[in-house]
Amino acid sequence: IVKEWMDTFIRQFHNVDISVAVQTDAGLITPIVKDADRKGLIDVSADVKALAAKARDGKLKPDEFIGGTFSISNLGMFGVKSFCAVVNPPQAAILAVGGSEIKVVPNGEDGYKTVTCMTATLSCDHRVVDGAVAAAWLKVFKECIEDPVNMLM
C-alpha cells in the first residue's frame, strides 16, 4: 500500500517512509521515519521521538518532512477511541490509531479474562489501493500488534 496516485499512473515504492503526525505550536506537521521497513521497533520508536522533538522545536529540515510513502496519525494519546484520518495526497493510505482500553472478553470454558484493545482504521485512496488489499494489510497489522515480540529486531 506504499503507492502514490500520479494522475496518469500509480507509483509503487520499494521503501517505506512513514509520515508521523505531530502537533506543534505552529500546527500539524508530519516528519518522516525513513526506511521504517528496514528498522526494528526500537529504532523506529527512537526515530519518532527524535523527529517529534525536532518538530516541536521547529528544527526539522525539509527532507525530514517532505515526502513519505505512508502516514500514521495517533489520537489515542488524547483519549480518542477511534477516528478516520484523511489520506495525504499523493500518498495512498493513512493509519488512524485510537486509544487503548481494557475489556472483559469470554475465555472459552474458563470464564472471562481482561484484554487491552485498540482501534486502528486504515483510510485508502481506492484508485490506488483495492479494499481487499487494504483488508489483507490490516490483517497482518493486527497479527503484528497482537504479537509485538515478532516486530523486535
The whole model's pTM is what? Answer: 0.87
Minimal CA–CA distance to 45: which of 54, 57, 36?
Answer: 36
Among the listed residues 17, 47, 63, 126, the single catalytic one is 126
Q: Which of 25, 37, 125, 130 is catalytic?
A: 130
Contact assessment for residue 80 and residue 107, using Cβ atoms and an 8 Å cutoff:
no
Query: CA-CA distance, 107 to 95, in Å (whole number)?
Result: 30
The predicted-structure confidence for 11-65, as pLDDT tens digits, reads as follows: 999 999 999 999 999 999 999 999 999 998 889 999 999 999 999 999 999 999 9
- Known catalytic residue: 43? no
For 5-28, the DSSP string reads E-SSSEEEPSS--EEE-EEETTEE
Give bridge partners of residue 116 from the DSSP assignment. Answer: 102
DSSP state for residue 85 in the 8-state scheme: P
**Residue 130 among the catalytic residues:** yes
